[in-house]
Amino acid sequence: MKIPINIPYLGREEISVVTSILKNGALTSSANQGGKYVQEFEKSVSSFVNSKYTIAVNSGTAALQAALYALDIKHGDEVLIPSFTFVATANSVYSTGAKPVFVDILKENFTMDPNDLQKKITKNTKAIVPVHLYGNVAYLDRISEIAKKFNIPIIEDSAQSLGSTFKKKHTGTFFEMGCFSMYPAKVMTAGEGGFIVTNNKKLRDKLLMIRNHGMLKGYDTRLLGLNLRLPEINAAIATVQMKKLPKFLKTREKNAKLLSKLLSKSNLDLPVERKNENVNWYLYTISTSKRNMLLKKLNAKGIGAASYYPIPVHKTPFYKSKTKLPITDWAASSVLSLPIHPKVTKKNIEFIAKTVSEIL
């Protein structure tokens, strides 16, 4: 029995729409508004998360880059981010010429610690990028208070949290911009892709140019942009996946609740939703001092458990920061994610829980 940590759920509808585009030959569009499927996809996202505008791009990293460009982040600026995240958060900042400043996390849900955030604000801080890790919603109320006090814009890194809500409001829609990923391991996929949501028309218009070489009408570059366009094939896959997303999320929640029930008597720190929070259960993440042993034995049994992230960004060879982040270091050596994606069956969940209990 092999149970991967995450796997895309694709069917006949995705194959059919891709075949149709290949026959038609309209693979992409350099028009300001994007191609037919890009526009259709953007409308479906706006409807789902309740945002005025969605701007589709070719990756979650591109979404973060475009959002930073839209705020005119540049060399000499500082952007506050957690280190306990995928490296794309930091790389997007670094690519603008700005300096990523690493902030510690909270033990409760592995998201940005507002107290450490406030300590690290300087006159050069030009943006804050909280990450909704594993689908867990960052402590936005407190982060918002701090940002308002210092007049700093916020970009939500919502790459892992499509479908997560706090007080019935979707992640990505609380502040200036929210950035999402559609990598195959996410809760829905485009193959590769990403998007930005915003309620600000000026930012939306700017983002449409940024994703297309800074052009408005063609060959009239008005600001710095890149080719961040989402191809029509990817947009079409994503449009089909958006229709399936509510069902995907429901299955993930069902699997997460069953796994929590079966592991309730184990000596593990299990994930718990806080008040007013609904998590998308992108990754079911536990913590234990026996992480490495547990991970090795689960993998040997065919269970695709995984550690996200064993090396925090500030300790990677490229960044080599001496910043002290004690909770980040603890999490990097303690967390373990278990499979609960829609292709995981009840029998799989029971096997995972039984195996974990036996190992411990």
**Which amino acid makes up residue 241?**
Q
Q: Are residues 226 and 253 in the same domain?
A: no
Sequence-distant (6+) residues with CB within 8 A of 355 are: 297, 298, 301, 303
Looking up tokens 């079409």, which residue turns up?
236
- Which pLDDT score, from 0 to 100, does residue 112 have? 98
Of 240, 268, 291, the domain-final residue: 240
**How many structural domains are present in the chain?**
2
Task: Point out the residues of the chain with pLDDT beneath 50.
Answer: none
Q: Are residues 282 and 299 in the same domain?
A: yes
Q: Is residue 196 located within the same domain as residue 305?
A: no
Q: Which domain range does residue 265 map to?
A: 245-359
My answer on whether 176 and 273 are in the same domain is no
Confirm whether 44 is domain-assigned: yes
H-helix segments, the chain: 12-24, 36-49, 60-70, 88-95, 114-119, 140-150, 201-210, 232-262, 291-300, 326-334, 346-359
208 and 272 fall within a common domain: no
Over its C-alpha atoms, the chain yields an Rg (Å, rounded) of: 20
Q: Are residues 235 and 257 in the same domain?
A: no
Is residue 96 in some structural domain? yes
The reply to whether 90 and 225 lie within a common domain is: yes
> Do residue 181 and residue 260 come from a single domain?
no
Query: Is residue 5 assigned to a domain?
Result: no
Residue 149 lies in a domain: yes
Domain assignment of residue 311, yes or no: yes
Residues 191 and 301 in one domain: no
CATH number of the structural domain spanning residue 46:
3.40.640.10
- Asked which of 196, 211, 240 is the last residue of a domain, the reply is 240
Residue 4 lies in a domain: no
Give the end of a domain, one of 211, 240, 269. 240
CATH of the domain at 333: 3.90.1150.10
Has residue 2 been placed in a domain? Answer: no
Same domain, 211 and 258: no
Predicted local confidence at residue 10, as pLDDT: 96
DSSP 296: H
User: What is the per-residue pLDDT for 67?
Assistant: 98
Q: Identify whether 155 is part of a domain.
A: yes
The per-residue pLDDT for 267 is: 86
Nearest to 131 by CA among 81, 77, 175: 81
Whether residue 343 sits in one domain with residue 300: yes
pLDDT for the residue numbered 169 = 98
What's the predicted TM-score (pTM) here?
Answer: 0.97
Q: Are 172 and 49 in contact (CB under 8 A)?
A: yes
Q: 184 and 75 share a domain?
A: yes
* Distance in angstroms (rounded) separating the CA atoms of residues 321 and 70: 27
